[in-house]
Structure formats: C-alpha cells, structure tokens
Structure 1
Amino acid sequence: MSQENLKKKAMEIISKHRTGVLANVENNKPHTRYMTFFNKDLTLYTPTQMDTEKVDEIQKNPSASVLLGYEAKGISDSYIEVSGKSRINQSQELKQQFWDDSFQKWFDGPEDPNYVFLEIQPETIRILNTEGGPPQEFQV
C-alpha cells in the first residue's frame, strides 16, 4: 500500500474512533489510560487538566503512544498505533474548537486555565489487523 493510501486509511480509522488508549512513561514504566482524542491532519489532541500526573509525566518524558480503533466487532477491526512526542498545548483556539459541554464536569468552560490539551505529534503510525494482512507502517 502506498504512503498516501496508508495515510488515508489511518485518517479513516481516526475519524471513526474518538476513544483510545494513551500510553506514556511514569518512573521508567508504561502508564496507560483511556482518553478522548481529536484529530487535525494526524496530530492528535486530548483534553486534560493542567494539574494532572499526565502533564508531569510528559514534561519528564515526551514519548507517547496511542491506540485507536478495535472497538466494534473486535477481532476483525482495524486499529492504529501512533508513536510520537507529546507536549502541552494551551491554545485558546483549540480549547474553543474542541469544547464539549460534557467537559463541564472538569472545567469551568473553554477559558478555564486548567483546561489544556496533550498534543501528540506522530512520528510513526502503524495500521494493524487489516483483513488478516501484516501491519503497515509509515513515518509522518
């Protein structure tokens, strides 16, 4: 599959799945949790509170991995693994763009200074479980 087709397939999977698993490093060990993801041209954004351990962890080690997909039928679902670097993004534009009223459980609104995004800039994307074929990988 060409790089362009792989990118299209990855975008298709991302567009169908907003819930995924974020893994980063805590005390030299993997630390995973489910998160909600938004996408802008393969860069992933997940809302979080500035005063959480996730923020501390990525400030110490920005390496991150995200799994998206594999939610409907399970065994035959394609999914992606995004490996890259993460950083804190406090952009008011992003906060407005991705604001959802369900976030009011955690934030006072889009202007809340504790409302930030983890931005995961992909370096490698692997597409797995595609019709029994081998994993496909491309560099971003």
Structure 2
Amino acid sequence: MSSPEHKQKIWNLIKDIQVGMLVTLDEDVPRARPMHLVQDEYDGTIWFYTRRSSEKVLEAKGDSEICLTFSDQEEGVYVSMSGTARITDDQAIIDKYWNPGVAAWLPEKEDPDVVMLEIDIKMGEHWAAKESKVFQLYEMAKANIKSDKTPDIGENEKFGG
C-alpha cells in the first residue's frame, strides 16, 4: 500500500486531469470507458457515479479486478492504477460526492438506479515528465544516437503491490 504522502502525490497528478479511463472485463475482453472524478481527495479509493443498469456494473460485480488510467499529454503525466471495484448504493456516499456536474448526467440522486462504483486501488505506476516537450525530444534523439543510453525524460515510480 502507498503511504499518505504518496497518495497525496498520486492525487496531485490526477486531480486536474479529472477524467480517467476505467478498464473492466466484459467476459474475457477488456473494455474501457471514460469516468469523471467526483472526490476532493484520494485515500486509496476512487469513487465514480454510475447507473445500476449500466454494463460496467455487471462487469464490476463481486470485487472485480479493474485498471484505471489518467493521462495529460500536455503536462507529460501518466498514471495507471489497478484494484478492485464494488458497487454501493449507500445513500450517504451518494450524497457525499453529489455535485451539479453529476446532476447533469444523473438528475435524481435518490433514483434507485444511481449507484457508486468504489475502486480500492492496490497498485499502480506513474510517469511525470520533468522537462519540456522539446527537451524530451532532444533526450530521445540523443538516446537514438548513443545506443547504450536511454532517454532521461522524467520520473517513473511503481506503488503498492
């Protein structure tokens, strides 16, 4: 598991990206769809609103394994997280994260079809470029010329697991 400091680091990487790609298994076939963050902090759990009748709910039944990715090409930030997904219809949780953006997609928070997808993150990896795109291109070109050198284009760290 990640330390509180590392969880804050992950949150700082993903909070401005806002939309992640959630990958579930549809039988044996991976399937990805965009999901919007609704929380204001990260403690090892990611929450998303969805409809009980959605296919992702069927795919997430019974602590299903998922992958969640966030990317911001402009900033050179990439985060991949793996964990387990569960569905909850706990009204206190639904109320906690409700906001006008959610209401645009799901007009009635008391609707029995509105549920939360709770994702407990077990492990992941993140990459963050420390330099500009021009510098990254320079590093890649330099690495191509010197076959024994890999480009130094930023930070890469695994966590959890």
TM range (shorter): 0.7 to 0.9
CA 27–6 in structure 1, closer or farther in 2 if over 3 Å, else same: same
Segments ≥4 residues shifted beyond 6 Å: none
Q: Which residue of 2 aligns with 1:30?
A: 30
Q: Which residue of 1 aligns with 2:65?
A: 63
Aligned mate of 1:48, from 38, 47, 50: 50
Question: 1:83–1:124: 8 Å Cα contact kept in structure 2?
Answer: yes
Q: Which residue of 1 aligns with 2:18?
A: 18
* RMSD (Å) for aligned C-alpha atoms: 2.4
Question: 1:6–1:136: 8 Å Cα contact kept in structure 2?
Answer: no
Per-residue deviation, residues 39-77 of structure 1 (Å, max 9, x unmatched): 44131011100001101111167011111231xxx1542
- In the alignment, the residues of structure 1 paired with residue 98 and residue 11 of structure 2 have an alpha-carbon distance, to the nearest angstrom, of 21
CA 136–106 in structure 1, closer or farther in 2 if over 3 Å, else same: same
How far residue 9 of structure 1 moved from its aligned partner, in angstroms, is: 1.7
Question: 2:20–2:70: 8 Å Cα contact kept in structure 1?
Answer: yes
Question: 1:11–1:42: 8 Å Cα contact kept in structure 2?
Answer: no
Name the amino acid aligned to 2:110: E
Per-residue deviation, residues 109-138 of structure 1 (Å, max 9, x unmatched): 221111111111000021123422352011
Question: 1:25–1:61: 8 Å Cα contact kept in structure 2?
Answer: no
How far residue 8 of structure 1 moved from its aligned partner, in angstroms, is: 2.8
How far residue 6 of structure 1 moved from its aligned partner, in angstroms, is: 3.4
Q: Which residue of 2 aligns with 1:137?
A: 158
Higher RCO structure, 1 or 2 (CA under 8 Å, sep 6+) = 1
Question: 2:103–2:109: 8 Å Cα contact kept in structure 1?
Answer: no
How far residue 5 of structure 1 moved from its aligned partner, in angstroms, is: 4.8
Gaps in structure 2 of 5+ consecutive residues: 131-152
* TM-score normalised according to structure 1 size: 0.83
How far residue 4 of structure 1 moved from its aligned partner, in angstroms, is: 5.5
- In the alignment, the residues of structure 2 paired with residue 89 and residue 130 of structure 1 have an alpha-carbon distance, to the nearest angstrom, of 36
Q: Any idea what SS the aligned residue of 1:16 has?
A: coil
Name the amino acid aligned to 1:18: Q
Question: 2:23–2:67: 8 Å Cα contact kept in structure 1?
Answer: yes
